[in-house]
Chains A and B, each alone.
Chain A
Amino acid sequence: MGAFSLLFSGCAILHHVQVGQIDNRTDTVTAIPFEILMSEAGVSTQEIGAIARSANTKQGDQAAGIAEIIALFQMGPRTGNPVYSERYAEKLIYEIHQKCPTGRVTGLMSIREMRKYPVISGEIVKVTGYCLKDRTSSKTTASTTNSGASL
């Protein structure tokens, strides 16, 4: 049971961190924290091959051979395992806009990380930041929503 929980908990591997400009002027604005997570499943052909070979059968060897051929097409520098769609993080900018419609974003921290399980992995792009909102406008929106609720 313990071995299974260890197997499926997945190791977290950090690839890249970047911190952007931080505007900490909070005299007239409120900084609201937000987090965006985008991920895609990655597959390790190397591990598939190793597992197939460990079966010690003819089919296992053939599968390992196929995995090695596929691995030849996945050469080159990269972070993490290959994914099916390389465009999984492209909607990030729209997600930021959704989380922060005012467009005043600060303290952006971009993290590229990976959750590693046997054979598969979660290729993750995480962005955390703060959305700046005017205190006066937030008060007015709150009052309008309250009035809307009363109606």
Chain B
Amino acid sequence: MMFKKMFFILMAVAFTGCASVNSVSLTPIPANRSKEVRAEVSRTIFLGFNFDNDYINPLVDNLKMQCPNGVITGILTKDEVISYVLVFTRRVVATGYCNLSQVSKAQQKRSSASEEQILEN
């Protein structure tokens, strides 16, 4: 019975990860924060053997897919490590705000400019 308890305690300790933040960065935050977008990439590394960091590459594309024809600002990029026994997980999380109002404003400007040109002609 005692052995079982010890085993479960050890397993709980082994599979509970210790988290640490490597770096955080933030871009200017927009006034309109109604639509939040989030992308996450991660890789689990055993004994520190990692031969490339290509797992980060889809991060921007993931964000872009969530905000078609919009502008993503207020991007908080968090690079963190979750350590287990002999294994650690590197995780990069990016959250931001998709802003479509800027698009409509730009389109309005463009359309009004074209109308003015037509009137001038």
A-B contact pairs, 23 of them (CB 8 A): A11-B50, A12-B51, A12-B52, A14-B53, A14-B56, A16-B22, A16-B79, A17-B59, A17-B79, A17-B92, A18-B25, A21-B27, A21-B72, A21-B75, A22-B60, A22-B63, A22-B75, A24-B64, A24-B67, A26-B69, A109-B59, A109-B60, A128-B57
B98 closest partner in A (C-beta): A24
Whole-angstrom CA separation of A107 from B23 in the bound complex: 18
Chain B residues numbered 19-73 whose CB sits less than 8 Å from any CB in chain A: 22-23, 25, 27-28, 48-53, 56-57, 59-60, 63-64, 67-73
Shortest distance from the beta carbon of A38 to any chain B beta carbon, whole Å: 15
Q: 8 Å CB contacts to B: which residues of A6-25?
A: 9-25
Interface residues of A (CB under 8 A from B): 9-27, 107, 109, 111, 113, 128
A21 to B27: give the CA distance in the assembly, Å: 7
B residues whose Cβ falls under 8 Å from a Cβ of A: 22-23, 25, 27-28, 48-53, 56-57, 59-60, 63-64, 67-73, 75, 77, 79, 90, 92, 94, 96, 102-103, 106-107
Indicate if the CB atoms of A107 and B48 lie closer than 8 Å: no
Q: Please, how many angstroms separate the alpha-carbon atoms of A23 and B96 in the complex?
A: 12
Which residues of chain B are near A111, meaning CB under 8 Å?
53, 56
